[in-house]
Structure 1
Amino acid sequence: MTTDGGLQVEVDRVACEGHALCLVYAPEVFDMDDEERAVVLLDPVPGELHAAVEEAAGNCPVQAIRLRSRAAS
C-alpha cells in the first residue's frame, strides 16, 4: 500500500493478543500498553515508515492492525 496522502494505522484492541511482532517490524510506530496490547505512536505514519508498518500488519498473527490511506478518509 503506497500512499501520497499518508497512512493511518489502527489496532483492534479486542483482536490484539499482545504478540508484539508489530514492535519487531515497526518499533517507531507501535508500543505495548499496560494491558499488553499494541498501541499506535505515530498517526499518520511518515512515508519512510510505510514499508515497516505494512510488514507489521502483514505479520500480525491475529490481523489486528488495519491500514488505510489518509486520502481515502
Structure 2
Amino acid sequence: HRGLPVVVPLLDLQDRRLVGVPEVWGNFSGPVEEASKRYSAERSITARMYQAFNSDNWVLDWRFTNDEMFESNRITGYR
C-alpha cells in the first residue's frame, strides 16, 4: 500500500550522451534534470561513493533534486 515508484534509466546512448561520470561526480544538476525528462521523473537522486583520502572511512554523497529544490547529503562510515 505504500511505496515509491522508481525508474532506473536505460543508460543507452541517449542517456550516456547527456549524463556521464563527470556530471554525476561534479554534482551538475542541469544534465541530470535534462536526462530525467525522458522518463517523466518528478525528482531525481544521484550518488557517489568513495574512500576518503588517507583514511579507512568511506563517504557517500547523495543529492535529491526537483524543480524547486536541490538538497545535498553526506554520510560517512567505517568499513
Q: Scaled by the length of structure 2, what TM-score is found?
A: 0.32
- Higher normalized strand content (fraction of residues): 2
- Rg (Cα) greater in structure: 2
**Bigger relative CO (Cα 8 Å, ≥ 6 apart):** 1
Q: Scaled by the length of structure 1, what TM-score is found?
A: 0.34
